[in-house]
Amino acid sequence: MTDGTLETIDGRPALRFERVLAYPVERVWRAVSVPAELERWMPAAVNWTPAAGETFESYGATLEVTEADAPHRLAWTYAGQPHGFELSAQEGGCRLIFTHVLDDRAISAQTATGWHTYLSRLDRHLAGGYLSEEDAHQGWAQTHERYAERFGVDPTPGRRFAETLRAGQE
């Protein structure tokens, strides 16, 4: 799986993931927008339509859908951080571009590792399978260290996050 990149959007750090998927745009749109499909690969799935202007409270923060142009663009803010999927037809399937604009570059490696994991679950879901969150997180530490090195950030916050998660599972 191709790694994400760290870029700048409107002066803020932003993660960008690009995938070429062997499925039609309409199929990928369903996977990223239909609640029953989202919950198969993203643990924080919401029960949305989705439609621009919809708002939800989720894990103590507000999620607002800012754009829903089926089947090509879905964007939202969560806790003030913009997120979005852009889908376009490509020979043999669909090009998916996912962006997440961050408030803090220091957690970019940790956040990138999480999205990397979720997108691996999306790949499996589209193929008709299922990858549990536990199995998807195998190799989390190595992936995190790779992102921390590539992005030039201190890996300590991500390591602490992973330790907290492990302690909660024991």
Range of the structural domain that residue 61 is part of:
5-169
Domain count, the chain: 1
CATH number, domain of 87, equals: 3.30.530.20
Distance separating the N- and C-terminal Cα atoms of the chain: 29
pLDDT at site 1: 65
Mean residue pLDDT of the chain comes to 93
| Separation in Å, CA 165 to CA 39, 57, 159, 161, 162 | 20, 23, 10, 6, 5
Name the residue with higher pLDDT: 20 or 162: 20
19-29 confidence digits (pLDDT tens): 999 999 999 99
Backbone dihedral region of 51: left (phi > 0), alpha (psi from -120 to 50 degrees) or beta?
A: beta
Residue 36 reports pLDDT greater than 90: yes
